[in-house]
Structure 1
Amino acid sequence: MERGSYGPDDRQLLETTARRIYTNAVAHGSLPADDPRLHDARNQPALDLLLDIGLIRLDEGSNRLYPMDPSAVQAQIVVPLGQQGADLLTESARWADTFSELGQVFRTSPQATVHPITEIHGLDNINNFIAAAVNDCRAELLTAQPHGRRPANALAVAEDRDVKALARGVRMRTLYQHSARHSPATREYVADIISHGAEVRTLDEFFRRLIVVDRQVAVVPASDNHHVAIAIYEKSLIAYLVDIFERSWERAQPFNVSGNQAERHIAADVRAMTIRLLTEGHSDPASAKRLGVSTRTYAGYIAALKDEYGVQTRFQLGYAMGRDGAALPLPAPEPDGEVDDLELVEAVEDD
């Protein structure tokens, strides 16, 4: 074994058997080199490691083993390992750059249209694909993130990735639901990426997750359990998804608007959406999901409406809203038969 080539197995040996031998040597000042206990099948590898590292030195004159100060040995072991780690990180970055360049070649080639849709199975594979696609992004990144809260660890990973994209000059626009404004972790994430140039807005309506990278690839879910996603390369499909995003973007409220006026806008949107869901007869869990809140929070919205109209039951609430015109049906769809675009976008779970 060459010095500097130590690995996890050696470290584990040093932490266990070799540590006991070294501690014993320190306690007694030295150990007899010919002690048979040091040369059995269990202790011999540990003794060899201590001698090789230099934590134990054999004095041939006295045939005894003397412990050495670890601080005198540490740099000889740790510095080469650190250099190896730096070399591996550099090599890893070069591999990533090479794959990024090849990915750009593939996505801009006619070959991408031969297989316009690719299935990705497993959350880890989905997240890795998204991370690679965002790292390859050079011009524009569109994301629609449903539900109110995202895990703090997922936001931390996204923040590092997104800030790097923004530093490359990428224009980034992100949609959340209004309920995301009540998440401290999300507010912190949004404040950071906005400070780096991103644009973030929130919408009252429920939508599904969507990621579009450079208008060359779009990622949407392909299963209810979020374990399957599809990557879309077909230009016409991507253009359709971008159109859906743009319509939602125009209706959304900027996340960075502060003050009472912004809060009044959001409160009015949430109230209107709650009334709509209530009058359409959706169940509480379904309505809560569409608003991106918990069922308990949604029940609170209903309770607030009851207080507003001075009633005690939902039946009375429906009657009161209908009397005042609050529960009038929504306008009919346009004659061209268009449906709610937001319902056509499927979801992908995070990371």
Structure 2
Amino acid sequence: MNPPLEPTACGSSYVSDAEAELYSCILRFQQVTREFLGTLSELEMSEEELDAAVGRLRELGLLRSHSTDPALLVPVDPDLAAAALTAPIQESLQERRRQLDQISVEFGRLRAHFLEGRRFDTGSIEVIGHLDEVRAALNRASNECQEEVLSSQPGGGRAPEVLEEAISRDTALLARGVRMRTLYNHTARFNAPSQAYVAVMSGLGAEYRTVHDPFGRLIVFDRDLAFVPDREGSLGAVMVREPSLVRYLCSVFENAWAHARPFSDAAADGLESVAKELDGTILRLLAAGYKDEAIGRRLGMSLRTTRKHVADIMDTLGAVSRFQAGVLAARAGLLDHDESEDESEPDTGVREVAG
């Protein structure tokens, strides 16, 4: 089987404008010689361009030599030429479909054995090291989910491409009656793509709340399977099925959810209120010795924005150092902990792998 022809060098079409013009010209005469074509001023082609166009039309099957006089060029019905050209492509597609079906059937049979074996592994924890495998595992868990999804997504606004990918998956879950609850940073309220995404999905029944300092990235399906980040800087994930660990992660989520606010854009919720909470959290992190990079990572802000907030706070307190800012804030009673917040351990700064 000959390989199918590729588009022209420009990569966008099989027949260029010049080749189409030449083909139309030949149709008027039905049978012409190459020499005759060279005498036609209307073609406005050099000899090299004309040879190349004739050769390309021959390759595509749109021109052939006359059966009794090889010097004559005869145009061919484009439908017949297209059928001959696409035949190997159709055959290749059919073979690919056959391979896809075979992979689905054979691996599906192995999947049944895998699930059966997993029943006897009550302490199942699996590390997935590659992003593509993480996405595949998340998509499979979403397809199998029947009742509930809990999700914590720290960081400010989420990337538009991540939100776009999440829309179809989340819409399918909601259409099956699955309850979805998601926690964001307060700073997501300032992100237009996140606002638009939440508005659409809330209309379909999803629930969203925000806090200043989420506990970390987490996705739980049906309180049976949890995904947490792999080590810092990795795009991998850890799948947790051990019941006690999953229950613990769910309780962490429920505690944060109980103290979180319903998602709304910052202006609707009051910029002053949001800014006051943000400054309070930054003060506590400063007093705990956090650097600007760590503070920004925890609160979902860029380093530049974080440094501006820190500078504004120090200026308001009249502090000349970060240490003095902590002392002055403590004297003013500004470091009293809210019961919903815990600054005891730095965040790991995990990276986003799914919606």
TM-score (norm 2): 0.72
In the alignment, does 2:197 pair up with 1:189?
A: yes
1:224 deviates by 1.2
Q: Which residue number corresponds to residue 205 of structure 1?
A: 213
Partner Cα distance (1:209, 1:97) in 2: 34
Q: Which residue number corresponds to residue 292 of structure 2?
A: 284
1:265 deviates by 4.2
1:266 deviates by 2.7
Partner Cα distance (2:271, 2:301) in 1: 17
Match of 2:170 among 136, 151, 162: 162
1:204 deviates by 0.9
In the alignment, does 2:63 pair up with 1:56?
A: yes
- Tell me if structure 1 keeps the 8 A contact 2:298–2:347: no
- Tell me if structure 2 keeps the 8 A contact 1:208–1:343: no
Superposed CA offset, 1:140-185 (max 9, x none): 1111111112221111111121112111211111111111112111
2:244 aligns to what SS in structure 1?
helix
Q: What amino acid maps onto 1:10 in structure 2?
A: L
Partner Cα distance (2:97, 2:345) in 1: 42
1:118 deviates by 1.4
Q: What amino acid maps onto 1:279 in structure 2?
A: A
Runs of 5+ unmatched residues, structure 2? 35-51
Q: Which residue number corresponds to residue 39 of structure 1?
A: none
Paired residue total: 328
Match of 1:349 among 319, 338, 352: 352
Q: Which residue number corresponds to residue 26 of structure 1?
A: 23
Superposed CA offset, 1:263-282 (max 9, x none): 45433321221111122121
Partner Cα distance (1:127, 1:261) in 2: 34
In the alignment, does 2:231 pair up with 1:241?
A: no
Q: Which residue number corresponds to residue 6 of structure 2?
A: 11
Q: Which residue number corresponds to residue 268 of structure 1?
A: 276
Relative distance call for 1:159 and 1:260 in structure 2 (3 A) is: closer
- Tell me if structure 2 keeps the 8 A contact 1:203–1:253: yes
Relative distance call for 1:313 and 1:115 in structure 2 (3 A) is: closer
Partner Cα distance (2:108, 2:176) in 1: 14
Partner Cα distance (2:218, 2:349) in 1: 7
Match of 2:262 among 254, 264, 270: 254
Superposed CA offset, 1:8-48 (max 9, x none): x42347988x8589669638736769xxxxxxxx99x9777
Q: Which residue number corresponds to residue 153 of structure 1?
A: 161
Relative distance call for 1:293 and 1:105 in structure 2 (3 A) is: farther
- Tell me if structure 1 keeps the 8 A contact 2:183–2:214: no
User: Matched residues, percent identical?
Assistant: 30
Partner Cα distance (1:97, 1:245) in 2: 38
Partner Cα distance (1:196, 1:27) in 2: 55
Relative distance call for 1:325 and 1:212 in structure 2 (3 A) is: same
- Tell me if structure 1 keeps the 8 A contact 2:190–2:265: no
Relative distance call for 1:94 and 1:76 in structure 2 (3 A) is: same
Q: Which residue number corresponds to residue 220 of structure 1?
A: 228
Q: What amino acid maps onto 1:59 in structure 2?
A: H
TM-score (norm 1): 0.73
1:68 deviates by 4.4
Runs of 5+ unmatched residues, structure 1? 34-41, 333-338
Deviates more, 1:316-325 or 1:215-224: 316-325
